[in-house]
Amino acid sequence: MVVNVILRRLSPISSRSLFSSWASMEKLSLRLGVVQSIAREDKNENLKVAKEKIEELVRKNCDIIVLPECFNSPYGTDYFPKYAEEIPDGETSQFLKEMASENKIHLVGGSIPEREGQDLFNTSTVWNPDGELICRHRKIHLFDINIPGGIQFQESSTLKAGNKVTTFTAHDWKFGIGICYDLRFEELARLYRNKGCHVILYPGAFNWTTGPLHWELLLRGRAVDNQVYVAGVSGAYCPQASYQAWGHSTVVDPMGQVVTKAKHDEAVFCVDLDMSLVEKVRQQIPVFSQRRTDVYETVEKEL
């Protein structure tokens, strides 16, 4: 399934200087491609499926394509050690490098289990159209929850948490990255807004307990609070999996409106994002210039 969506523009506001800071921007719109796929136990099959879906979106002229969390591995603490790879020398990193360079796109490699020495991380990588690794984000907040009658999970039994916020620039857009459970922590999104991000990407895999309750709610909240586009990119539902992803990959605009979303099954879709809409919303509702940083503040710490 491929869905093309053109965003509805807000009515223009009267200001001659509104777009003065944007005049030098190379690209005022960006086509974002989203892959929602099942991660099976055969890693080679997972990479094959990813390749097919990336190429499908390339044919739709996407500038940047995002894969879901753990797209090369089933999601689960029993799987992470078995599927973990070094970055950037591992098989999956080399695959992502080739896909980005061959198709001349920015490619966000969802996340994979990463091995560094004795430590394992849940890590997203970003590759530019030359096939260069431009950043990696290690999941900061590990998914340790216990909902009686719902789900119990403890990522920290296997994984180590990252400790850095991660941004990159593509076609003059600035992006921030979080992975799944990172979405629940508004402070991280606020730091990305403070750093000037226009879009926040969340490769994720919410489950069938928390997905219906909170997935869309949190994506919309992060978008409207920080006046950014937000894309939640999930794995697809697989009834045979030990961990069943909710799916419903979703893109939200800076007003908190859902632009488009998938259902449970495997899918791809692309969305045309309008950079000018970000600035319009920030001009119309100027919460960041009105913020009382003399009373409260969210700051990044160097570790």
Strand intervals (E) in 18-88: 29-36, 64-66
Mapping DSSP to helix (H, G, I), strand (E, B) and coil, where does residue 184 land? helix
pTM of the model: 0.91
Looking at the annotation, which residues are catalytic? 69, 139, 180
Predicted pLDDT at 303: 83
Backbone phi and psi for residue 293, each to the nearest 5 degrees, phi listed first: -70, -10
The Cα-based distances of 225 to 10, 148, 162, 191, 230 in angstroms read 18, 31, 24, 12, 11
Question: Using one digit for the tens of pLDDT, what is the confidence trace for 101-135?
Answer: 999 999 999 999 999 999 999 999 999 999 999 99
- The token pair at 44 is 């080679």
Coil, helix or strand at residue 51 = helix
Q: What is the CATH number of domain 28-284?
A: 3.60.110.10
Query: Pairing mode, if any, of strands 133-138 and 112-116?
Result: unpaired
- What is the model's pLDDT at position 26? 53
Residues 6+ apart with CB under 8 A from 163: 138, 140, 303
3-class secondary structure, 225: helix
For the chain, the domains span: 28-284
- Taking a C-beta distance cutoff of 8 angstroms, is the pair 273, 32 a contact? yes
What is the distance between the alpha carbons of residues 275 and 199, in angstroms, rounded to a whole number? 10
The H or E element spanning position 291 is none
Residue spans of alpha helices (H) in the chain: 43-58, 80-83, 91-103, 186-194, 210, 216-226, 275-284
- pLDDT at position 20 is 39
- List the chain residues with pLDDT less than 50: 1-25
**What pLDDT shows up at residue 1?**
47
**Radius of gyration of the CA atoms of the chain, in A:** 18
Which amino acid belongs to residue 211?
G
Contacts of 30 (CB under 8 A, 6+ apart): 63, 64, 170, 171, 173, 272, 273, 275
Asked whether the beta carbons of 266 and 18 are under 8 A apart, the reply is no
User: How many Å separate Cα 216 from the centre of its chain?
Assistant: 14
* Residue 113 CB neighbour total at 10 angstroms: 24
